[in-house]
Structure 1
Amino acid sequence: MRPALILICLLGSLAGIAAIEGETAPEFSLPELNSETHHQLSDLQGKVVYLDFWASWCAPCRVSFPEIIKLKQDLADKPFEVIAITVDENPEAANRFLGRYDVPYPILHDSDGEWAARYRLPGMPTSFVIDRDGVIRLRHSGFKPGDMAIIREKIENLLAADGL
Structure 2
Amino acid sequence: MKDMILRSASLVFLSLFFATAAPAASAPDAVWSVEGGELRLEQLRGKVVYLDFWASWCAPCRKSFPFMNELQTRYGEQGLVVVAVNLDKDRKLVEQFLAKYPAQFTVAYDPKGETAERFGLKGMPSSYLIDRDGEIRLSHVGFRDEDSRELEAGIRNVLEH
Shorter-chain TM band: 0.7 to 0.9
Contact 2:126 2:140 in 1 (8 A): yes
Displacement, 1:36? 4.6
Pairing 1:31–2:33 present: yes
Larger helix proportion of the pair: 2
State the identity %.
Answer: 40
TM-score by length of structure 1 reads 0.82
Pairing 1:108–2:108 present: yes
Tell me the distance in 1 between the aligned counterparts of 2:65 and 2:113: 20
Structure 2: unaligned runs, 5 residues or longer: 1-21
Q: 1:107 to 1:63 in 2, by over 3 A?
A: same
Q: What one-letter code is carried by the residue in structure 2 that aligns with 1:26?
A: P
Q: 1:151 to 1:69 in 2, by over 3 A?
A: same
Does the residue aligned with 2:157 lie in a helix, a strand or coil?
Answer: helix
Further displaced range: 69-78 or 126-135: 69-78
Q: What one-letter code is carried by the residue in structure 2 that aligns with 1:30?
A: W
What does the per-residue CA deviation read over 1:89-141, in whole Å, with 9 as the maximum and x for residues that have no partner? Answer: 00110110011233121111101111111111001000000000000000000
Tell me the distance in 1 between the aligned counterparts of 2:110 and 2:152: 25
Following TM superposition, the consecutive aligned residue runs of length 4 or more in structure 1 with deviations greater than 6 angstroms are none
Tell me the distance in 1 between the aligned counterparts of 2:76 and 2:125: 23
Contact 2:62 2:101 in 1 (8 A): no
Structure 1: unaligned runs, 5 residues or longer: 1-19
The count of residues paired between Structure 1 and Structure 2 equals: 141
Contact 1:21 1:135 in 2 (8 A): no
Tell me the distance in 2 between the aligned counterparts of 1:106 and 1:47: 14
Contact 1:21 1:139 in 2 (8 A): no
Tell me the distance in 1 between the aligned counterparts of 2:100 and 2:72: 17
Tell me the distance in 2 between the aligned counterparts of 1:123 and 1:102: 22
Tell me the distance in 2 between the aligned counterparts of 1:21 and 1:85: 24
- Partner residue of 1:13? none
Q: What one-letter code is carried by the residue in structure 2 that aligns with 1:29?
A: V
Q: What one-letter code is carried by the residue in structure 2 that aligns with 1:60?
A: P
Larger strand proportion of the pair: 2
Contact 2:63 2:143 in 1 (8 A): yes
Larger Rg: 2
- Partner residue of 2:75? 75
Tell me the distance in 1 between the aligned counterparts of 2:49 and 2:106: 12
Does the residue aligned with 2:100 lie in a helix, a strand or coil?
Answer: coil
Query: What is the 5 A alignment of 1:125-140?
Result: 125-140=125-140
Does the residue aligned with 2:101 lie in a helix, a strand or coil?
Answer: coil
Tell me the distance in 1 between the aligned counterparts of 2:121 and 2:56: 16
